[in-house]
Amino acid sequence: MNKTRKKNSPLAETSCTPEQCRPEGFTGPAGCKDPSGKKSPAGITHRCGNTNGAGKPTPVIMFLTLLVTALLLPGLLPGQSGNSAGAGRTMRAATIPEGQVVDLAGCIVRGLENNFNVLVSRNNQAVSENNLTPGNAGYLPEIAFTNRFGGTLNTTHQSLADGGETSAKGIHNTSNAAGVTVGMTLFRGFQVQTTMKKLEELSKVGALNSQMAMENLVARIASEYYHYVEQVSMYHNLAYAVTLSRERVRIDEQRYLLGASSKLDLLQSKVYFNADSSRLDRQNEVLRAAQIRLNALMAAEDVGQTILPRDTAISINENLNYSDLLGSTLQNNTSLLIATRQQVISGLDYKIIASREYPYLTASTGYNYNYNGYESSTLRNQQVQGMNYGVTLGIDLFDGFNRKREKANARIEMENRQYQYREIEQEVKADLLTIFYGYENNLRLLRLEEQNLEVARENLEIALERYKLGSLTGLELREVQKSLLDAEERLISVKYQAKIAEISLLQISGKIMDLVPGT
């Protein structure tokens, strides 16, 4: 006797024998015959196993499900679609805006040419180089030329001894004086020579400051460039996740129409698809931000212009050696070189102050011409011309103990410069060791994540086969897919962190400029 329930009830069922339950012009999940010979209506579950979205699928349903799934799943297996995923990859590439393709070397060259901070540092270096002259040190004489013209307009009244008087009005007398003087310090307690050495050291400091600005820029551009590469890779992975989710929705729609899955599975697939699409949109924002920052470092006029990195993956130099890096750091680190120059300058400042304790010797010479014209005198005019010269020897005996105070302060400054050098040296060594440990750890993590990725790909391949056979739920497949995407993201992140450590090690050891083309 047949027992039936309402249509679409997952518990509705009817009795039939295996011989009677067979496909007959199958057009849907309903097709078995009940004992009376009539087709069972849609939504009725047979005890033989035929079902319309509830219970266990019959071999017919399973066969058609496998057929549809096989048609819809090409390109989704990791072996076919992993990092070179046919249709999926084509779809992802189309979502990235087209723009100028740039490489790291080109970005560095443009940045060094246009970055404003580098331009300012170069101007400061030019100022220090302009100050490095013998005249600024006091080696050259001082030459001056003067010319003065003047006159007087007087009224005079004279009373003579014999009682007579004389007077004159509008007496105009004129005078003109011209001269050339030359003065030079011959000796000032070696102050001139010491000042010249100080100017040389200041010029070196200016060059080192400019070099530091360029090194910082190269490191920032390299870091931002590879950050952009990382974010592009992340974007590709998320776009691939959207592709997988979209195909999942198609599969579940077909399976739902065939009665091989419930509407709940279809709705859940759409939820996953929307979630992946949302993450992709957020990643697009991150991608644009990285692009803008890279344009800003290159001082591009249009910081919003679209650029694409030529590199599609991050390559790591795994051959860095700590001993070599330490030796290069102590010899070439820019901060240490500047600190060394500052020590030298503080010593020269002390010598300049001490030079004032010595006698000084100056020499001067000149040529003068004077003209005077008279209107109220028997002398009509007078002209005088000739040379003058002189040598001055002197010594500062007492200046209110100011020189003693300045020398004491100069000694303290020398001591401070030594402490600062040791502090910078300690910080540089600590940074080098810390970053190198991170570099080695990231290399270990890199190998581990590469193994994890291979396992995750194999796991997804097996999961997809089980999903096609109906022995794996959509939720379980989603977890497997998420594990693969997480493994890919972790691998990309570890590569980026290892690259940042590599860049930092090159910067600390003074080798970052090796990234500049032609160096």
Half-sphere exposure of 295 (CA within 13 A, CB side): 18
Q: Is 145 helix (H, G, I), strand (E, B) or coil?
A: strand
- Sequence-distant (≥ 6) Cβ neighbours of residue 354 within 8 angstroms: 189, 407
Beta bridge partners of 101: 308
User: Contact, 315 vs 386, CB < 8 A?
Assistant: no
Give yes or no for a contact between 251 and 72, defined as CB atoms under 8 angstroms apart.
yes
Q: Return the H-helix or E-strand segment holding 308.
A: strand 307-309
This model's pTM is above 0.85: no
pLDDT of residue 21: 40
Please check whether residue 79 is in contact with residue 461, taking contact to mean a CB–CB distance below 8 angstroms: yes
Q: Is 175 exposed, middle or buried (0-12, 13-18, 19+ CB in 10 A)?
A: middle
Residue 223 phi, psi (nearest 5) = -65, -45
pLDDT at 97: 63
Quickly tell me which residue has 């998320």 as its tokens.
Answer: 238
Would you state the pLDDT for residue 459?
93
Task: Return the structure tokens found at 209.
Answer: 């400051």
Cα–Cα dist 421/426, whole Å: 9
Any idea what the Cα angle at residue 466 is, between residues 460 and 471, rounded to 5°?
Answer: 135
C-alpha dihedral, 89 to 91 to 93 to 97, nearest 10°: -160
How many Å apart are CA 151 and CA 2, to the nearest integer? 142
Whose CA is closest to 106, among 312, 313, 307? Answer: 307
Tally: H helices and E strands in the chain: 12, 8
Structure confidence by residue, pLDDT tens digits, 133-144 = 999 999 999 999
Q: Please name which of 270, 275, 238 lies closest in space to residue 256, comparing C-alpha atoms.
A: 270
Walk me through the domains of the chain, giving residue ranges and CATH numbers: 1-56 (no CATH), 100-515 (1.20.1600.10)
pLDDT < 50 positions in the chain: 1-94
CA distances, 352 to each of 198, 338, 345, 346, 366 (Å): 9, 21, 10, 10, 30
Identify which of 325, 310, 266 has the alpha carbon closest to the alpha carbon of residue 505. 325
**AA identity, residue 337:** L
What local confidence, expressed as pLDDT, does residue 105 receive? 95
Please tell me whether residue 142 adopts helix, strand or coil conformation: strand
Name the strand (E) or helix (H) holding 180.
strand 165-187
